[in-house]
A and B are shown apart, each in its own frame.
Chain A
Amino acid sequence: MSWLIHRIDDRLIHGQVVIAWGERMRPKRIVIADDAAAADSWERGLLASAAPGVAVEVLSVEAAALGYDAESAREGGAFLLVRDLVSALRLVELGARIDRFTLGGLHYAPGKDRINEYVYLGAEDRRAARELIGRGVRLELQDVPATTPTALADLDASVRSA
């Protein structure tokens, strides 16, 4: 059981995660791999309160990578959330054996290009995406379960590995 989705979303926990994915897949745990949130007890408390009935674990990216295999063997399903592609790449570089990430929400900021209505990428994001794809990790855009996933490489040729 364990890992149900690996999601990249700058909002981390929010409605689509808790309601759309959560009600459908009923995870027992949500693991958030995020250095800033993990270092901030107030933020950890906020995120933990946001998904009633689900255990929320807020870990540094390194701790999440170290615990990845152990979580795979646990009973009940888990969601993994990271805020950006760079964190996703770090997880993989640190040894988490993840073969697919879902890009659920990377919103507009200056210097980022539109990929679709909920994914915008800048140069650093694309570098991380290329590296992930080069390592065999599939990157797909999908905000909620009712929509069809689309491969990032089909929408943005610049992330295809050389």
Chain B
Amino acid sequence: MSRVPALLVMHADLAAALLRAAERVYGPIEGVEVLSNEGLSRDALEKQIVHTVGGWSEGGLVLTDFWGGSCHICGASAARGRGELVIVTGINLPLLLDYLHNRDSLTVDALAERLQKKGQDSIRIQRGSA
């Protein structure tokens, strides 16, 4: 099975910072692209996403920060007519690490489903003790 490629599209410096943080935990990371929406119109951001995902003949994941933001909307537009691309929103550090650990063994779709489930489990509460 070939590796599932990923593009992180997020606000401000979040995508680059998240990738840096993941490298501290995981080690050097290859094959993950990053993009900021800073200063970009919808068309310009969509074009930049299309530019990156255009080379993914077997599809891949566009990972964004939150549902309804321009990163998500432009990712969705870039994936129009390309069923082999999947957008996952709400990406955090646990999810990025989980993607890295599973990108060589799952299909695009199975990996997206896994991240969604993992995301719902990754927020936990640790209360202070009395």
Interface residue ranges, A against B (CB under 8 Å): 10-15, 18-19, 42, 46-47, 50-52, 105-109, 117-118
Q: CA–CA, A79 to B73, complex, Å?
A: 19
Complex contact B67–A50 (CB within 8 A): yes
The answer to whether A14 and B44 touch across the interface, beta carbons within 8 angstroms, is no
Across the interface, name the chain B residue whose C-beta is closest to A106: B41
**B68 and A50 within 8 A (CB):** yes
Q: Is the CB of B39 within 8 A of A118?
A: yes
Picked from A10, A15, A47, A106, the residue with its CB within 8 Å of the CB of B69 is A15
Q: List 13 A-B contacts (CB under 8 A).
A: A10-B41, A11-B70, A13-B73, A14-B42, A14-B70, A14-B73, A19-B68, A46-B76, A47-B73, A50-B67, A50-B68, A51-B68, A107-B41
Contact B66 A12 (CB under 8 A): no
Give the contacting residue for A15; candidates B39, B44, B66, B77; CB below 8 A: B66
Contact check: which of A12, A15, A19, A108 meets B42 at CB < 8 Å? A12
Q: Which residue of A lies closest to B77 (CB)?
A: A46
Contact A107 B39 (CB under 8 A): yes
Nearest-Cβ distance from residue B26 to partner chain A, whole angstroms: 28
In Å, the complex CA distance between A51 and B41 comes to 19
**Residues in B whose Cβ lies below 8 Å from that of A51:** 68
Contact B43 A15 (CB under 8 A): no
Report whether A107 and B40 are in contact in the complex, using a CB–CB cutoff of 8 Å.
yes
Name the residue among B39, B42, B80 with the largest chain A CB count within 10 angstroms: B42
Residues of the B chain whose Cβ atoms lie less than 8 Å from the Cβ of A108: 39, 41, 44
| Chain B interface residue count, Cβ-Cβ cutoff 8 angstroms | 17
Among B39, B40, B72, contact of A50 (Cβ-Cβ < 8 Å): B72
**CA–CA, A12 and B76, complex, Å:** 14
A47 to B42, CA, bound (A): 13
Contacts of B11 in A (CB 8 A): 15
B42 proximity list for chain A (CB < 8 A): 10-12, 14
Contact A42 B73 (CB under 8 A): no
Closest to B40 in A: A107
> Is A52 a contact partner of B68 (Cβ separation < 8 A)?
yes
Central interface residue in A15, A19, A46, A50, by most chain B CB within 10 Å: A15
Residues of A contacting B39 with CB < 8 Å?
Answer: 107-108, 117-118
Interface residues of B in 59-82 (CB under 8 A from A): 66-70, 72-73, 76-77, 80
Given contacts A11-B73, A108-B41, A109-B44, 6 further A-B contacts (CB under 8 A): A13-B73, A15-B69, A19-B66, A46-B76, A50-B68, A106-B41
A42 to B70, CA, bound (A): 16
Q: CB distance A15 to B70 under 8 Å?
A: yes
